[in-house]
Structure 1
Amino acid sequence: MRSLFRITVFLVADWCVPRGEIITDKIFNASACGDNCAEWLLEIGKKKDITVNLRHIMDFGEVSFDIHIQNTDQVVHSMKELIPIAGMIVR
């Protein structure tokens, strides 16, 4: 059994102004660094809970993960689960 870590993602469409409760006082715009940050986000998430903002569907690859999507309060474990949810929010 792998240890549970949580990456919280707030998906933001370009036309949307983020609203709602902010989980932490610092939320990083992970879209600014592109998909090459995905591996590092997963590594950081193994050590502590983090919250990031995504304006695109970041490719986390074929690995298994636990990502909490704040918009829908869902936890996904693969890109196959992430893409349909993110696709409804990020255009």
Structure 2
Amino acid sequence: MRLPDEDAIELWIVDGKISPEPVTGADTVFDGGWILAGLVDAHCHVGLGSRGDAIELDEAAVQARTEREAGALLLRDCGSPTD
């Protein structure tokens, strides 16, 4: 793995968490890449209801929190129900 502007480092997944400590007998599942702090939902419609209609701000906030609780830390709201 590589952190932005840093040298490549090795990391392991232990009990679902990233660890810098080597794991004996571990399998390499990915070689090279970047570490991201969370998921990116690049196509969402926060603010639209189930029928494609506008919703109130409090319901849109619930939608955004639901995305965050699922692990998305960046949203790209596409804005209309037809795109």
TM-score range, shorter chain: under 0.3
* Bigger CA radius of gyration: 2
- Normalized against structure 2, the TM-score is what? 0.26
- Normalized against structure 1, the TM-score is what? 0.24
